[in-house]
Structure 1
């Protein structure tokens, strides 16, 4: 899962979000940045009673806030969603070993040329590539620290 900071950067760069069941999101800047919520058509729980178990279809079960305006929420796109958003620009994902462990590298190819984006997590590498695309930047690559380097 990408970091809240990276998700906020994507949102600020103009990444649109059409909420759908299964999407994860946070409500930043309310001392809740570490609380990740998942959109769900309904919450289903198994309840134990003296007469046996039953499945309950409940509304909000773990949070007492009735609602929040959508612009206050920040989407945490999943790896497959980020890859889909990159579309035909996405060439491949590579994993390579480095002295500190391994990194993931997303390679893009579009009318502006080839770019590579590395991060410790594949989802972060996809997010950095999408952020680069949304910013309209040309050439170079972005590493895990966000610094630009030539490919």
Structure 2
């Protein structure tokens, strides 16, 4: 699962969430920091209103919650979502060897307009993808 710090950095870099079934998120509210929620048509649904998206908690799944604004939730994109966001910049994902049998992952991305590729390494695949996406967003915002 994506590290919450990387998810925050992605949000702060401008990544926007359009809640869909299967999406994971956390509430950055006291008492809920460790709970990971998943949108589902039965238990937690995204409701679109003119004032914004609201995540509705149905039934008794979470007795303390009725609904929260999606803006108050931190999206934890999955590996497939991060790969899709990288689009044509994505070259590949590889398992890397590590010390003591603990490997990691390397996501390679192509630098726009070149044949050059850049590695992004982390112990979890989602984190490597997130680092690659952060670099991609940063590069797309530069004028050079």
TM-score range, shorter chain: 0.7 to 0.9
Q: Match for residue 104 of structure 1? A: 105
Q: Match for residue 131 of structure 2? A: 128
Distance (whole Å) between structure 1 residues aligned to residue 59 and residue 111 of structure 2 = 44
Task: Please state whether the residue corresponding to 2:105 is helix, strand or coil.
Answer: strand
Give the alignment partner of residue 119 of structure 2, picking from 101, 116, 138: 116
Q: Decide which structure has the larger Cα Rg and report it.
A: 1
Which structure 2 segments of 5+ residues have no match? Answer: 44-56
Which structure 1 segments of 5+ residues have no match? Answer: 44-57, 139-151
Normalising by structure 1, we get a TM-score of 0.75
Change (3 A) 1:60 1:10: farther
Contact (CA 8 Å) 1:4, 1:33: kept in 2 or not?
no
Q: Match for residue 91 of structure 2? A: 91
Contact (CA 8 Å) 1:83, 1:90: kept in 2 or not?
yes
Q: Match for residue 78 of structure 1? A: 78
Contact (CA 8 Å) 1:25, 1:76: kept in 2 or not?
yes
Q: Match for residue 50 of structure 2? A: none
Alpha-carbon shift at residue 30 of structure 1 (Å): 2.3
Normalising by structure 2, we get a TM-score of 0.79
Q: Report how many aligned residue pairs link the two structures.
A: 124
Contact (CA 8 Å) 2:17, 2:75: kept in 1 or not?
yes
